[in-house]
């Protein structure tokens, strides 16, 4: 159980400055999979994505002792340990521990850390990566370190993909850090983030016509990603062609957005889904196929799963006079349907007097 501080300690804690951070989740329009090694080393990757107004949140409250307390509000899970104890990676908030291990200043005092995300892991919105970005930003602010956006995204990527060995690509950490509409160019582990100047009318029209739909099922993306990678390595023609077409469609969708050709964008979104399906048979499920066909029958121009596949969220672009019909049909299927708003700011950290 968490130690309850005495009145004197509690008074000292409440007088301390809190540090907060939030990092946005993202929707990937095209190019997903081309950021997963070894494809970017071999052929280079291209990703088109945008961040949305759903966030991974983190708050740090300094303590006067040498204890660290972690609490995930989503999982109802808390972990306590001393700063002078070996850090135990036992499957309980290991992602958080990995960030703390990288930044911890043992000459300083401990802290309480509170975490919350707008979407669960496995949702296809990059929530785990957004959380690690929020943690890196939070700890960087707490210890008053200076880091560029590229450095924050890179460290977050290393923590999740290398230190913890969680399969996946590079795009999510850069999307959550930079925010907005981005066109990512990848060569090996080198990433160039190209922010896109999408006009406000285009953004408003996207928000008006897009639907974000939760299947009610999360997935273990590492199994899907591992299968996709294995197929690429053994020369599976469908997987390879699907990845190469993702790059081409990312370019075409970028041009459609910049030129405000949103009907073309909606159609290309559907093409990106058909090419994504070729990368692994685990990406689509009977339920996803049923939902996709139902949306198309009701008038959607195109849509796709927003992450690795197997579950999570789906994104549909609909003509304004058909969107309500698509939403109604998907809700009858048991899906949770919501509108979408875009975040243009990326990672934010700030301080507030407790």
Which member of 35, 90, 112, 172 is catalytic?
Answer: 172
Q: Is residue 322 part of a domain?
A: yes
Looking at the structure, tell me whether residues 242 and 148 fall in a common domain.
no
**Do 252 and 137 share a structural domain?**
no
> Is there a domain that residue 71 lies in?
yes
pTM: 0.92
Residues 148 and 266 in one domain: no
Q: How many domains are contained in the chain? A: 2
| pLDDT at 214 (0 to 100) | 95
Q: Are residues 179 and 285 in the same domain?
A: no
Pair 44, 182 in one domain: yes
Q: Do residues 161 and 22 both lie within one domain? A: yes
Is 235 in the same domain as 294? yes
Half-sphere exposure of 294 (CA within 13 A, CB side): 19
172 is catalytic: yes
Q: What is the CATH number of the domain that holds 208?
A: 3.30.70.890
Shared domain for 35 and 179, answered yes or no, is yes
pLDDT value at residue 354: 76
Q: Are residues 167 and 231 in the same domain?
A: no
Residue 95 and residue 206 in one domain: no
Given this model, what pLDDT does residue 15 score?
A: 47
Q: Which domain CATH number covers 52?
A: 3.30.230.10
Q: Are 215 and 275 part of one and the same domain?
A: yes
Domain span at residue 334?
Answer: 200-338
- State whether 193 and 207 are in the same domain: no
pLDDT digits (tens, 9 = 90+) for 183-202: 999 998 899 999 999 999 99
Q: Would you give per-residue pLDDT tens digits along the chain (354 residues)?
A: 333 344 433 444 444 789 999 999 999 999 999 999 999 999 999 999 999 999 999 999 999 999 999 999 888 899 999 999 888 999 899 999 999 999 999 889 999 999 999 988 778 999 999 999 999 999 999 999 999 999 999 999 999 999 988 888 999 999 999 999 999 999 988 999 999 999 999 999 999 999 999 998 876 555 888 899 999 999 999 999 999 999 999 999 999 999 999 999 999 999 999 999 999 999 999 999 999 999 999 999 999 999 888 889 999 999 999 999 999 999 999 999 999 999 999 999 999 997
Q: Is residue 2 part of a domain?
A: no
Position 327 in a domain: yes
pLDDT of 220: 53
């Amino acid at each position: 159980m968490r130690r309850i501080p005495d009145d004197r300690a509690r008074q000292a804690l409440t007088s301390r400055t809190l540090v907060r951070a939030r990092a946005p989740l993202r929707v990937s329009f095209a190019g997903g999979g081309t950021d997963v090694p070894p494809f970017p080393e071999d052929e280079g990757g291209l990703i088109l994505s945008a961040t949305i107004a759903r966030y991974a949140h983190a708050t740090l409250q300094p303590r006067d002792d040498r204890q660290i307390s972690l609490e995930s509000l989503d999982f109802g899970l808390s972990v306590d340990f001393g700063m002078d104890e070996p850090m135990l990676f036992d499957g309980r908030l290991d992602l958080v521990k990995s960030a703390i291990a990288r930044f911890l200043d043992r000459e300083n005092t401990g802290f309480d850390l509170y975490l919350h995300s707008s979407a669960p892991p496995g949702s296809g919105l990059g929530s785990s990566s957004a959380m690690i970005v929020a943690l890196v930003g939070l700890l960087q602010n707490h210890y008053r370190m200076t880091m560029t956006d590229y450095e924050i995204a890179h460290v977050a990527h290393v923590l999740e993909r290398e230190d913890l060995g969680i399969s996946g690509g590079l795009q999510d950490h850069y999307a959550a850090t930079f925010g907005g509409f981005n066109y990512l160019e990848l060569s090996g582990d080198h990433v160039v983030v190209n922010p896109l100047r999408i006009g406000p009318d285009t953004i408003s029209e996207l928000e008006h016509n897009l639907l974000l739909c939760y299947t009610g099922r999360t997935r273990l993306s590492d199994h899907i990603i591992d299968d996709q990678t294995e197929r690429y390595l053994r020369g599976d023609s469908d997987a390879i062609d699907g990845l190469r077409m993702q790059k081409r469609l990312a370019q075409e969708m970028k041009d459609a957005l910049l030129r405000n050709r949103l009907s073309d964008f909606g159609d290309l979104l559907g093409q990106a889904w058909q090419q994504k399906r070729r990368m692994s048979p685990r990406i689509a499920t009977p339920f996803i196929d049923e939902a996709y066909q139902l949306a198309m029958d009701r008038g959607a121009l195109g849509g796709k799963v927003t992450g690795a596949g197997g579950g999570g969220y789906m994104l549909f672009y609909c003509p304004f006079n058909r969107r309500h019909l698509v939403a109604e049909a998907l809700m009858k299927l048991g899906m949770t349907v919501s509108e979408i708003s875009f975040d243009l700011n990326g990672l934010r950290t700030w301080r507030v007097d407790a």
